Amino acid sequence: MNISQKIESIIRSPKQSILLILIVIVLTHLPTSFGSFIADDYMQWAMLEGSNELASLGFSKAGSDKALEDKLLDGFHFFDPDAGTNEAYRDYGNLPWWSSNNASMVPFRPLAALSHWIDYSLFGKALEFHRLHSLLYFLLLGVVVYSLYKKTSTKHTVAVLAVLLLVVDFSLTKSFNWVIARNSYMACAIGVLSISSYIRWRCHGRNLDLFLSLFLLGAAVLTAEAAISAIAYMGAYTLCMEERGSIIKKIPPLIPFVVLIVLWRVLYSSAGFGSNDIGQYVDPGRSPVAFLINFLEVFPLICISLITGVDSLVIMVHPEKRWIISVVGWGISLGCTFLIWPILKTNRSARFMFVGSIVAAIPGTALINGESRTVTFSSIGFFYLLALWLVTLYGNKSSFISRWGFRSIVSWHLVLPAILAVILTSNVSGFSQQSKQYESIPVDVKTSEYELVVVNDSSAMFYYLPFEWAFRGFKLPAKLNILTPGLNTVDITRESERLFTISTPAGMPINHKSNISSLSGDEPVFSAIYSGLFALGFFTTPEQSPDKGEVILNSDMKITIVEVNEIGPTKITIEFIGRTSPDKKVWQRFDWSEYKYKLMLPLSINETRRIVGPLDKI
């Protein structure tokens, strides 16, 4: 028996195949002590564990004496005007002067927060144990999806292959390696259990299964809002798998679930949870028209991510060219639908998974880039269809096209992602997303004298800076002054002891849809720096545009907008109005040519310095 025949034998055996799935998950996602926490993880640590140092700087939600209930409510609290955190962060400076005064980002995910609270309570900051906990939910996802596939597929090999494709998918691996993103596959696992209970209810009519399905759906949405996508598969099952009744008669079984979600949404919004006035996420409950527009742009991006396995491609594209990716995405999606149409016409389970996957993608279009966390539920249907197609190709081994089509797709969607999963999870490459910004801070700086000025930022991730530095035990600046987004070349002139003028000849992009170009007008279609532009959508909106003459207070600065163009401000003045002289602050700039932060001396009066942007670097 050769290797190919041995693999076929294992896949055909239910006991051996489930063992194979578990082994593949463990081998590709086994945590190590390498790697690091990332961005949101640090914020969540402060919300769950607390930091007296952050609390002393005005970060009231970071108090260490909070009750467990408050910790779980704040586990995903980014900023909110009603809670005072927006104002507090703007006063400190990690929300910059161009951020929205009304920006709010407060998801309600208490079950996910509870899982992280357990981690910090038991394991502290030991990353490998956090990920080991995550691995349990990942294993659960593999098992429950396998069970769902077995219920709906007439071919066991399709079920096994589909699960293997799912668990090594690059998008899910990205979520696995980002600790706070655990909720995406945790909610998906619970959601799949809800779907399975729904199917049992529809098959056997037991009310216990109905109540269990409702309970699990409620638990899933308390883990991640995207879990409402589970209803997509429930509706698709009733529509495609149940023969009795017209379409209208198939609606009533879904009513209890729709009522549950509506009730959840009403309570969710009335309690002040959700997002508002930010560009990165469009809340469909608050902005339905904007959500519809976002759907037309983002839905094809999700489809491209699934079909190609390339995640969040759009963040590397120039803002004025992103529409091309969306149009191409619509074309590819429709073309792939045409290719599998013969299967959809003859296979009810394929129609079930297709409809479920398509509808499940809709909630994910609330995010502007269709990133990994938005495609988890859609992946369930997509990889089932892909596995079904692969099994069909494999069964036609006499065809040269079928043989090489099978090998190419398996290599791209299974073998390569599995290898990448091992590399990313084990972090054998040594890659770390920890900020190296602290490296240019003088080691002998005194906390009482320490206020930090960042002339140009590299990635719009400064919101997380105080949380990360507190987590890592670094000295925190008493104030943080972010002067510019840093994505274009700026000229800074010191007019007097406390007054500075900043000019941006090419304009200052302050939201994720702002145009961006070099001084000579070059606008590359693809560039890694556009990811920093996308990050601006975390606390600004495309509609946000400071007016000429507008005065903004931020940290201990008074910013006056002097000149603007269609991109944003081209000239501003910044006056330091706090007790500390600019000469007493620590000044820092980002050097795009060496790609690192560097210490710089404060400017002399009447001195002008040019800080070169990424598109103008030599």
Q: How confident is the model at residue 433 (pLDDT cuts 50, 70, 90)?
A: low
- For residue 48, give the nearest of 105, 119, 108 by alpha carbon: 119
The residue among 426, 458, 493 that closes a domain is: 426
Are both 283 and 259 inside the same structural domain? yes
Are both 337 and 316 inside the same structural domain? yes
Q: pTM, whole model, 2 decimals?
A: 0.89
**pLDDT of 19-29, one tens digit each?**
889 999 999 98
At residue 368, the 3 state secondary structure works out as coil
CB-CB neighbours of 394 under 10 Å = 18
Which residues make beta-bridge pairs with 468? none
Q: How confident is the model at residue 371 (pLDDT cuts 50, 70, 90)?
A: low
Q: How confident is the model at residue 618 (pLDDT cuts 50, 70, 90)?
A: low
| CA angle in degrees (0–180, nearest 5) for 333-339-340 | 95
Are both 351 and 400 inside the same structural domain? yes
Would 478 be classed as within a structural domain?
A: yes
pLDDT averaged over every residue in the chain: 86
Would 231 be classed as within a structural domain?
A: yes
Output phi, psi for 270, to 5 deg: -65, -25
Paired tokens of 486: 């840093």
> Is the predicted pLDDT of residue 327 greater than 60, yes or no?
yes
pLDDT at position 450 is 83
> Is the predicted pLDDT of residue 195 greater than 90, yes or no?
yes
Are both 25 and 146 inside the same structural domain? yes
Mean pLDDT for the stretch of residues 382-403? 84
Q: Is the dihedral of CA 150, 156, 162, 165 positive or negative?
A: positive
The residue among 106, 121, 151 that closes a domain is: 106
pLDDT at position 9 is 66
Would 306 be classed as within a structural domain?
A: yes
Are both 48 and 24 inside the same structural domain? no
- Contacts of residue 67, defined as CB under 8 A and 6 or more positions apart, other chains included, come to none
> Is the predicted pLDDT of residue 187 greater than 80, yes or no?
yes
CA atoms within 13 A on the CB side of 461: 20
The total number of structural domains in the chain stands at 3
- For residue 193, give the nearest of 242, 233, 163 by alpha carbon: 233
- For residue 484, give the nearest of 582, 589, 555, 584 by alpha carbon: 589
Mean pLDDT for the stretch of residues 322-351? 89
The residue among 376, 400, 426 that closes a domain is: 426
Whether the Cβ atoms of residue 593 and residue 618 lie closer than 8 Å to each other: yes
Q: How far apart are CA 498 and CA 279, in angstroms?
A: 33
| CA angle in degrees (0–180, nearest 5) for 170-175-177 | 95
Mean pLDDT for the stretch of residues 67-77? 92
At residue 4, the 3 state secondary structure works out as helix
Mean pLDDT for the stretch of residues 171-178? 83
Which residues make beta-bridge pairs with 453? 481, 587
Q: How confident is the model at residue 425 (pLDDT cuts 50, 70, 90)?
A: confident
Q: How confident is the model at residue 443 (pLDDT cuts 50, 70, 90)?
A: low
- Contacts of residue 361, defined as CB under 8 A and 6 or more positions apart, other chains included, come to 229, 299, 302, 303, 374, 375, 377, 378
Paired tokens of 593: 């040519």
Would 616 be classed as within a structural domain?
A: no
Percent of the chain at pLDDT exceeding 90: 42
Q: How far apart are CA 301 and CA 312, in angstroms?
A: 8
pLDDT at position 221 is 95
Are both 404 and 497 inside the same structural domain? no
Strand residue runs (E) in 490-580: 490-494, 499-503, 551-554, 557-564, 569-576
Are both 554 and 541 inside the same structural domain? yes
Whether the Cβ atoms of residue 547 and residue 482 lie closer than 8 Å to each other: no
**pLDDT of 306-317, one tens digit each?**
888 877 777 788
Q: How far apart are CA 511 and CA 540, in angstroms?
A: 6
DSSP annotation string for 145-189: HHHHHHHH-S-HHHHHHHHHHHHT-HHHHHHHHSGGGHHHHHHHH
Are both 418 and 468 inside the same structural domain? no
Would 93 be classed as within a structural domain?
A: yes
Q: How far apart are CA 382 and CA 390, in angstroms?
A: 12
For residue 440, which amino acid is it?
S
Are both 347 and 410 inside the same structural domain? yes
Residue 564 belongs to domain spanning: 437-611
- Contacts of residue 433, defined as CB under 8 A and 6 or more positions apart, other chains included, come to 36, 38, 39
Are both 391 and 484 inside the same structural domain? no
Which residues make beta-bridge pairs with 574? 500, 559
pLDDT at position 6 is 60
Would 412 be classed as within a structural domain?
A: yes
> Is the predicted pLDDT of residue 446 greater than 90, yes or no?
no
Mean pLDDT for the stretch of residues 416-444? 72
Are both 93 and 148 inside the same structural domain? no
For residue 253, which amino acid is it?
P
Would 618 be classed as within a structural domain?
A: no
551-554 and 557-564 strand pairing = antiparallel
Are both 454 and 328 inside the same structural domain? no
Paired tokens of 423: 């590399």
**pLDDT of 486-527, one tens digit each?**
888 899 999 999 999 999 988 888 888 888 888 887 888 888
Q: How far apart are CA 493 and CA 464, in angstroms?
A: 28
**pLDDT of 288-303, one tens digit each?**
787 888 888 888 888 8
CB-CB neighbours of 497 under 10 Å = 11
pLDDT at position 41 is 92
Would 418 be classed as within a structural domain?
A: yes
> Is the predicted pLDDT of residue 7 greater than 70, yes or no?
no
Q: Which helix (DSSP H) or strand (DSSP E) does residue 112 occupy?
A: helix 110-123
